[in-house]
Every structure is written in structure tokens, then in C-alpha cells.
Amino acid sequence: MDARITKPEFDSAIPAAAVSMSSAQAVALEAMQIRDEAIGQWIRKAATAAFRAVIEFPRRRRIYDELSMLSDRELADIGLNRGDIPRVFEEKFEARARQAANGLPQGRAAAA
């Protein structure tokens, strides 16, 4: 006696399981595609940020060196002090400088 079950016998015996397995596989495939797309976007963003950092470095270094060569009085004339020089390139620094120039308190956002 042969204990093996043929494919037609299996399909006729458990048709609902075959359908649910294929839909489960479709859901798994869709989840993998979404995951792969998210990973691809993250890699593209990271590569773009790294490329921009490499391109921007000489300009940023030149500005840093020029600010460092200014006297304390010249820095005060433009609203900076020595401690501000490394922070000039922070994203929030420009917004805070604009707020200070407009006379707004540091905690409030400038009106757009």
C-alpha cells in the first residue's frame, strides 16, 4: 500500500487550506515589497545626506575659518560670539537668530 497522497487528492481533500495559503503568501509578498521599498528609501536618503555632507564640507570649513579669524568686536557686530561659531551650522541656529533679530522670545516660533 502506498502512503503517499497525490496532488489532486490533496487539493480535493483540503481546498480551503490551499486558498488560504496562497492568500497568506500574497500578504507576505506584499509585506516584503513594502519593507524592501522602505529600506530602499532609507538607503537613498542616507546616501543623499552623505553626498551633500561631502559636497558642503569645503564651504562650511571656509566659513568656519573666516568666522574664526574675526575679532570679538567684529563677531559682536554681526550678533555672534566665539561660542556661536561651531553652532552656526546647526539647523535651529538660523531660526533662533531670526527670532532674536525680530525681537521674539526664544521659545516662540516666528510667524510664517
What does pLDDT average to in each consecutive run of 10 residues of the chain (112 residues)?
Answer: 72 60 85 94 96 92 91 89 84 73 58 42
Please report the pLDDT score of residue 66 as a whole number: 92
Please indicate, yes or no, if residue 63 is contained in any of the structural domains: no
Give the pLDDT confidence score for residue 95 in this predicted structure: 74
Q: What's the rounded Cα separation, in Å, for the pair 100 and 62?
A: 25
Helices and strands counted in the chain (H then E): 4, 0
Q: Give the SS3 label for residue 56.
A: helix
What pLDDT does 112 receive?
40
Q: Are residues 46 and 77 in the same domain?
A: no
The pLDDT value given to residue 2? 67
Q: Looking at the whole model, is its pTM more than 0.75?
A: no
User: CA–CA separation, 60 vs 37, rounded Å?
Assistant: 33
Contact predicate 75/97, CB 8 Å: no
> Domain for residue 6, yes or no?
no
Looking at the structure, tell me whether residues 43 and 74 fall in a common domain: no
Q: What's the pLDDT score for residue 32? A: 94
The shares of helix, strand and coil residues in the chain, as percent rounded to the nearest 5, are 80, 0, 20
Cβ atoms 79, 88 nearer than 8 A: no
Q: Which range marks the domain in which residue 52 is found?
A: 13-58
Residues 75 and 110 grouped into a single domain: yes
Residues 109 and 87 occupy one common structural domain: yes
Q: Is residue 83 part of a domain?
A: yes
Give the total number of structural domains in the chain: 2
Whether 5 is covered by a domain: the verdict is: no
Place of cell 536618503: 45
